[in-house]
Structure 1
């Protein structure tokens, strides 16, 4: 694998911790993600952190140029189908269950670089926001979790660590604007690395 620049190391450590926690809980459920209609690779997710966007773009540059060009074409088509709607609906695009442009033979071509939401999707979970009731997510339909005893999976520590990583990354890079982009949007304007 390509050597990761040092400024991404806190993010890769957090991703490792997320993956380990997810794997442990999934194992206790006996759950394996085999794809379904609720599949994160078919869902409309937005990403909000510059650190993750930059890491994904870094990973994209590690692909062979032919693969980059293919992903770019898929990303642009995804954006066209998802966001080129009449003006009254432009601010609220709906999921069309389009495959993520990074899917290649049903596998993520940038699996090691995938963002947080791709890593955490699927399992029932909880999130503790100060001053609010605990937010609980039911997990995906494939796991049939609504008929099973909940195994605690608290995402809160991961979100807190991500906030620190993002703050530090913004200070290092000078990026201050808010972002809300899909993977397709993140990659659509990336020129292939030659």
Structure 2
């Protein structure tokens, strides 16, 4: 990963965080790790740039902590991807979560940054898709505050394209954080 793509992604992540904080504040919403914690949600990540960025952060951790996280990642995958029942969301913590705190918080992927708030996606030629946000925010009782994720997805796609060209990457990726960590 070049410094340029890394810096570009970090800048986009900063903009995501800033926008999320602004919208959350307008709703008077503070995420406090509720029982339906998004760190227990089954999220798949689809970009090589986010995979590389997450692994960069992971490799900065000390050896003992990395080993501990990898052990949790193995257990996570064993439970989530059991051969007999297929993929299932079991509401177990992401392997980088320790005591309710993400150990790779500055390196967390886009969906971890944007989750929780009501939002919309505007896809060319299709109807706008609106999502309600997490249950903890009680957003159904509140007036919708526009949070359009579309520009973030578009910028991420451009960064991903640059990264793929620089790294000669092809194909698709669909992995959980646990799978990403175990892939290196």
For residues 118-144 of structure 1, give each alpha carbon's deviation from its aligned partner in whole angstroms, at most 9, with x where no partner exists.
Answer: 000000000000111100010000000
State yes or no: 1:10 paired with 2:8.
yes
Equivalent positions of 1:1-194 (< 5 A) are 5-86=3-84, 89-90=85-86, 93-190=87-184
Deviation at 1:47, TM superposition (A): 0.2
2: CA distance between counterparts of 1:71 and 1:189? 13
Output the TM-score relative to the length of structure 2: 0.96
Q: What is the deviation of 1:7?
A: 2.9
In the TM superposition, residue 85 of structure 1 has moved relative to its aligned partner by 2.7
Q: Tell me, in whole angstroms, the C-alpha distance in 2 between the residues paired with 1:161 and 1:37.
A: 32
Asked whether the equivalents of residues 94 and 178 of structure 2 are also in contact (C-alpha less than 8 Å), the reply is: yes
Kept in 1: contact 2:118–2:133 (CA 8 A): yes
Q: Structure 1, unaligned stretches of length 5 or more?
A: none
- For residues 147-189 of structure 1, what are the alpha-carbon distances to aligned partners after superposition, in whole Å with 9 as ceiling and x for unaligned? 1110110000000000000000000001112010000000124
CA drift at 1:94:
1.6
Distance 1:148 1:35 in 2: 21
DSSP 3-state at the match of 1:75: helix
* Distance in 2 between residues matched to 1:134 and 1:152, nearest whole Å: 12
SS at match of 1:57: helix
Shift of 1:5: 3.3
SS at match of 1:126: strand
TM-fit CA distance, 1:84: 1.7
Cα distance in 1 for partners of 2:30, 2:14 equals 18
Superposed CA RMSD in Å reads 1.2
